[in-house]
Chain A
């Protein structure tokens, strides 16, 4: 027997175990091994005193499923645990999670600094909708780290970006941008939908709020819409006077100061107590349950997504019909080194590539692939393709396309977890069709 003293190690559950168990105790739910679907709008109060205590945040519990629901609550805790966050609030979609985050943080007259490479719907929210609420935004290219600093104004309340830009795969230098935000006394909000906590935990790199469209890789099966905001718990809302709605007495709850009372969970508490109450973008318990099923296999799926994506990068990079390939695993990708640091478990399964022959070739490719699905989603278990110039972004002129990082030859590919040979064979069909119009035009 060794005399060596055993080193003390924390035995808190690790990622794969939390994916299956976090947020749920069967013995409190009739021993049900699976998380029950609480398909109910409302919850009985024990007595009048109990009702008053719940409404006044004096004790935890559920009142009405717009504000909280036990099935949704399991999902919230599970994602918070996986991200290393203190608290989370699930919503009906990723967009509603972003909206709720901004409306919890900002008031009319406030300003945000925002990465320019975002999902189109998010761009519209920041560019067109938030100004209607008196919230202005300055867009900065994601690689222009110094530009984020220069764009900060006296009334700036936060920086927002997607960790990996859509669709160009530009990577924000999260640690440096977080430092810029924190030096200015404002939080960094990161949409990490493409990564999931399996590939990157943004709180470890300085983010303060993480947002996911759970519809994508987290749920993974293309069945259910859902979103979530997760709080890191480190940001000090009381360090300056920029966030009075977090620090000053709030009339809606008898003069409650969220920051004083709830500290590392203050943002989520406010988003739920105020945002869910007033805007109401709640997640259905059925959809929460569907997302939970996906999360159970998150790490297994993400490994396969990433290995298939890297195979596809090799295949596309050597293909005669492909002009260029953008994926952070490619050595000449401008953010290759940063990706290794921020995404150590894999670089994700989103690939953008240019098809030789431009827009016509892109259309022919999309119209002829049989296995890959042509649709407006990403992060399904199935392989998805879209040609932005003829589809999602067809209304953009040349200059706007360029600003959005798009080109006529770009195909956006969300690599699924099918057999890799079947995906390649399908792409061969698409490429053959794409070459035909060029052959005709060359004659």
Chain B
């Protein structure tokens, strides 16, 4: 569906179901340089089971218009604006990678609105490799290739996508190259590198929180994810073996199973 936030058109996948204001809202926030399509193996389930699943394209990404937002704080405020724009008073947030920084910051800023927080491949800070950052800011496609290499675990490099016939390294590459790299990945990487408030923001979070981490995640290693989770009262942690940073594709079924249990328990769906 399309709607306006701050006069810019926003695209969000609704998981194949029409948006229904009566249903509780889950907002999925993608990682650096990516789009709503990274969530396809999670959103459709929730959309068909009593929720409004909204996988947004951040401004300037995917099918959303406008320019990319330059800081994690701006993105956090923008997520709050999305909740207002679709006419809801509250939401459950799900983030991946950079999306974790955004949703942590958003939850700390708007605690009354955010009912649950699910973090995948999250950390309190994501400092960027300077050379990778430079490549992305200079529109070099090698930045995408490096990101896809590091983002997939050793097993993920062989493929084995849960959806038959899909080869996820190439799919991720295509998503990250679908818009001008320096305007998406370059801006996002800089925003991640600049963001320093993650650990303080985490300390303010009181809603039920889940962290899904992966043993072969090079971009946000398990120890960094655990460090962030340790600062959030009562945070649950689930660790997936033999999986990299792109857990939502590499181990989509496992992620969905854990996410489903956590969200339906803490933020029940509208019963049919």
Contact in complex: B253, A265 (CB < 8 Å): no
In the complex, whether B61 has a CB less than 8 A from a CB of chain A is no
Contact check: which of B15, B142, B165 meets A10 at CB < 8 Å? B142
Contact in complex: B165, A73 (CB < 8 Å): yes
In the complex, whether B35 has a CB less than 8 A from a CB of chain A is yes
| A265 and B148 alpha carbons, distance in the complex (Å) | 17
Total A-B contacts with CB atoms under 8 angstroms apart: 150
In the complex, whether A315 has a CB less than 8 A from a CB of chain B is no
Q: Which residue from chain A places its CB closest to the CB of B146 in the assembled complex?
A: A10
Q: Which residue from chain A places its CB closest to the CB of B1 in the assembled complex?
A: A260
Contact in complex: B48, A58 (CB < 8 Å): yes
| A12 and B155 alpha carbons, distance in the complex (Å) | 12
Answer whether A81 and B159 are a contact pair too, CB < 8 Å, given A8-B131, A8-B132: yes
Contact check: which of B44, B45, B167, B175 meets A85 at CB < 8 Å? B167
A180 → chain B closest CB, angstroms:
22
Answer whether A77 and B131 are a contact pair too, CB < 8 Å, given A21-B158, A86-B174, A263-B37: no
| A170 and B37 alpha carbons, distance in the complex (Å) | 40
Contact in complex: A77, B41 (CB < 8 Å): no
Chain A residues closer than 8 Å to B17, beta-carbon distance: 254-255
| A21 and B169 alpha carbons, distance in the complex (Å) | 14
Contact in complex: A262, B162 (CB < 8 Å): no
| A301 and B149 alpha carbons, distance in the complex (Å) | 29
Contact in complex: B146, A8 (CB < 8 Å): yes
Chain B residues closer than 8 Å to A238, beta-carbon distance: 63
Contact in complex: B167, A81 (CB < 8 Å): yes
Contact in complex: B166, A86 (CB < 8 Å): yes
In the complex, whether A32 has a CB less than 8 A from a CB of chain B is no
Contact in complex: B149, A23 (CB < 8 Å): no
For residues 186 through 209 of chain B, which have their beta carbon under 8 Å from a beta carbon of chain A?
none
In the complex, whether A4 has a CB less than 8 A from a CB of chain B is no
Contact in complex: A72, B162 (CB < 8 Å): no
Contact in complex: A263, B45 (CB < 8 Å): no
Contact in complex: A253, B157 (CB < 8 Å): no
For residues 150 through 196 of chain B, which have their beta carbon under 8 Å from a beta carbon of chain A?
155, 157-167, 169-171, 174-175, 178
In the complex, whether B230 has a CB less than 8 A from a CB of chain A is no
Chain B residues closer than 8 Å to A90, beta-carbon distance: 165
Contact in complex: A80, B165 (CB < 8 Å): yes
Contact in complex: A84, B170 (CB < 8 Å): yes
Contact check: which of A12, A76, A80, A255 meets B16 at CB < 8 Å? A255
| A103 and B166 alpha carbons, distance in the complex (Å) | 20
Answer whether A87 and B145 are a contact pair too, CB < 8 Å, given A23-B159, A81-B159, A261-B13: no
A58 → chain B closest CB, angstroms:
4
Chain B residues closer than 8 Å to A25, beta-carbon distance: 155, 158-160
| A160 and B22 alpha carbons, distance in the complex (Å) | 48
Contact check: which of B16, B131, B165, B253 meets A261 at CB < 8 Å? B16
Contact check: which of A68, A234, A260 meets B13 at CB < 8 Å? A260
In the complex, whether B252 has a CB less than 8 A from a CB of chain A is yes
Chain B residues closer than 8 Å to A24, beta-carbon distance: 158-160
B226 → chain A closest CB, angstroms:
25
In the complex, whether A268 has a CB less than 8 A from a CB of chain B is yes
In the complex, whether B18 has a CB less than 8 A from a CB of chain A is yes
A30 → chain B closest CB, angstroms:
14
In the complex, whether B129 has a CB less than 8 A from a CB of chain A is yes
| A249 and B76 alpha carbons, distance in the complex (Å) | 31
Chain A residues closer than 8 Å to B132, beta-carbon distance: 8
For residues 374 through 421 of chain A, which have their beta carbon under 8 Å from a beta carbon of chain B?
none
For residues 121 through 138 of chain B, which have their beta carbon under 8 Å from a beta carbon of chain A?
129, 131-132, 135
Contact in complex: A264, B45 (CB < 8 Å): no
Contact in complex: B48, A87 (CB < 8 Å): no
Contact in complex: B149, A261 (CB < 8 Å): no
Contact in complex: A254, B16 (CB < 8 Å): yes
Q: Which residue from chain A places its CB closest to the CB of B256 in the assembled complex?
A: A59
| A9 and B149 alpha carbons, distance in the complex (Å) | 9
Contact check: which of A8, A11, A58, A265 meets B166 at CB < 8 Å? A265
Q: Which residue from chain A places its CB closest to the CB of B250 in the assembled complex?
A: A25
In the complex, whether A256 has a CB less than 8 A from a CB of chain B is yes
Contact in complex: A262, B37 (CB < 8 Å): yes
Contact in complex: A234, B174 (CB < 8 Å): yes
Answer whether A10 and B37 are a contact pair too, CB < 8 Å, given A53-B45, A254-B17, A264-B178: no
Chain A residues closer than 8 Å to B159, beta-carbon distance: 22-25, 77-78, 81
- Which of B16, B165, B166, B178 is packed against the most chain A CB atoms within 10 Å? B165
A358 → chain B closest CB, angstroms:
48
| A149 and B222 alpha carbons, distance in the complex (Å) | 55
Contact in complex: B41, A59 (CB < 8 Å): yes
| A265 and B160 alpha carbons, distance in the complex (Å) | 15
| A68 and B145 alpha carbons, distance in the complex (Å) | 29
Contact in complex: B16, A60 (CB < 8 Å): no
| A403 and B62 alpha carbons, distance in the complex (Å) | 46
In the complex, whether B242 has a CB less than 8 A from a CB of chain A is yes
- Which of B44, B167, B169, B170 is packed against the most chain A CB atoms within 10 Å? B167
B17 → chain A closest CB, angstroms:
7
In the complex, whether B40 has a CB less than 8 A from a CB of chain A is yes
B18 → chain A closest CB, angstroms:
7
Contact in complex: A61, B166 (CB < 8 Å): no
| A257 and B12 alpha carbons, distance in the complex (Å) | 13
Chain A residues closer than 8 Å to B166, beta-carbon distance: 60, 77, 80, 86-87, 265, 268
Contact check: which of B161, B164, B242 meets A272 at CB < 8 Å? B164
Chain A residues closer than 8 Å to B171, beta-carbon distance: 86-87, 233, 264-265
In the complex, besides A68-B164, A85-B167, A262-B37, 8 extra interface pairs with C-beta distance below 8 angstroms are A9-B146, A24-B160, A53-B45, A56-B44, A69-B164, A86-B171, A87-B167, A261-B13
Q: Taking beta carbons and an 8 Å cutoff, which residues of A are in contact with B?
A: 8-13, 21-25, 27-28, 52-53, 56-62, 68-70, 72-73, 76-78, 80-81, 84-90, 233-234, 238, 253-257, 260-265, 268-269, 272
Q: Can you list the 9 inter-chain pairs with the closest CB atoms, starting with the nearest?
A: A60-B162, A68-B164, A60-B163, A233-B174, A76-B165, A73-B164, A80-B167, A10-B145, A264-B174
The 20 listed contacts between A and B (C-beta, < 8 Å) are: A10-B148, A12-B148, A24-B160, A25-B159, A56-B44, A58-B41, A59-B45, A60-B41, A77-B160, A77-B167, A84-B170, A85-B167, A86-B166, A238-B63, A260-B63, A261-B13, A261-B40, A264-B174, A265-B163, A269-B163
